[in-house]
């Protein structure tokens, strides 16, 4: 198996949020992971990237169990690029992972240039990441992952915090990555993120409820991908709670 998992379960404390998930992913596939809020999308991607350890079952990469050695081949893009940016300049940020694995300077420069050109950030090498727009920050986060030459890229709602311009920038980068033959799983509610997707995996309460072609998924009307909440009441409560938290934090 190129990439996937077998009988994967995950618990936060006593609460099981992934139940017996089985997936087989071929090299070069571009897959959409959908599901309502809390269905387990982020958790699944985190377990499949090795950030979280399974409660039971296994993640496989090229027929081997995912471990400390081979997890470097799986790149994970966070929903919020701020979680991923650590460098004082764009260039330093992209260099960070390469420095950690001791890549020689000449090769490092070539790889950084290559990654920044793919995400269209050439010319901003010396910029302070804090001064970048949301779309530019997310593109920087993608460059920092790409430079490590991952064989699988897992994207966790990479455009949910962006405005339409930023979303479009990421969409263009994704299109480029697909052309390059990258293997990508993207968790998203944004129809534009899912435009080029062939296969959809839908999660509900930590279980796979659909795994198949996108057209079949839409025709069966399995879940409304544009609505991250199951009901209007859930959505209303979410935003009221958010407002309350914001007020308390002021
Ligand atoms: N750190 C945590 N500790 C305890 N429970 C958690 C934690 N993170 C997530 N959960 C719970 O696990 C379940 C799955 O959450 P997860 O974030 O994986 O879902 P999701 O589909 O990615 O949701 P969203 O679309 O809101 O990001 C939810 O019930 C959530 O409340």
Q: Ligand 1, residues 9, 12, 51: which to mutate, most atoms within 8 A of Cβ?
A: 12
CATH number at residue 57: 3.40.50.300
Question: In angstroms, what is the span from residue 175 Cα to ligand 1's centroid?
Answer: 28
Note the pLDDT of residue 231: 67
Q: Which residues of the chain register pLDDT less than 50? A: none
CA distances from 223 to 38, 177, 209 (A): 14, 27, 10
Closest C-alpha residue for ligand 1 atom 31: 38
Phi-psi group of 116: left, alpha or beta (phi > 0 → left; psi -120 to 50 → alpha; rest → beta): alpha
Give per-residue burial for 140-174: e unless 16+ CB within 10 Å, then b. Answer: bbbbbbbbbebbbbbbbbbbebbeeebbebbbebb
Range of the structural domain that residue 78 is part of: 3-249
Count of the separate structural domains present in the chain: 1
pLDDT tens string 63-111: 999 999 999 999 999 999 998 899 999 999 999 999 999 999 999 999 9
Residues with beta carbon inside 6 Å of ligand 1?
A: 12, 17, 35, 37-43, 228
Note the pLDDT of residue 72: 94
């Amino acid at each position: 198996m190129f990439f996937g998992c077998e009988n994967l379960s995950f618990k936060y404390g006593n609460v099981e949020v992934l139940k017996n998930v089985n997936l087989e992913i071929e090299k070069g596939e571009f897959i959409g992971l959908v599901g309502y809020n809390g269905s387990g999308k982020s958790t699944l991607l985190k377990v499949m990237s090795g950030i979280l350890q399974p409660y039971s079952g296994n993640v496989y990469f090229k027929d081997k169990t995912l471990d400390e050695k081979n997890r470097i081949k799986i790149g994970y893009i966070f929903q919020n690029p701020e979680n991923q940016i650590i460098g004082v300049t764009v260039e330093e940020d992209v260099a960070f992972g390469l420095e950690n694995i001791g890549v020689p300077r000449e090769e490092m420069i070539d790889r950084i240039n290559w990654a920044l050109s793919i995400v269209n950030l050439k010319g901003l090498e010396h910029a302070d990441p804090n001064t970048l727009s949301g779309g530019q920050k997310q593109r920087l986060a993608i460059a920092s992952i790409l430079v490590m030459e991952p064989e699988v890229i897992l994207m966790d709602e990479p455009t949910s915090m962006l405005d339409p311009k930023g979303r479009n920038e990421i969409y263009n980068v994704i299109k480029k990555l697909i052309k390059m033959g990258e293997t990508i799983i993207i968790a998203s509610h944004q129809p534009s993120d899912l435009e080029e997707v062939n296969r959809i995996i839908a999660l509900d309460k930590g279980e796979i409820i659909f795994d198949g072609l996108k057209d079949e998924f839409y025709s069966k009307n399995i879940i409304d991908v544009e609505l991250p909440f199951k009901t209007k009441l859930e959505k209303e409560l979410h935003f009221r709670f958010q407002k309350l938290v914001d007020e308390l934090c002021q």
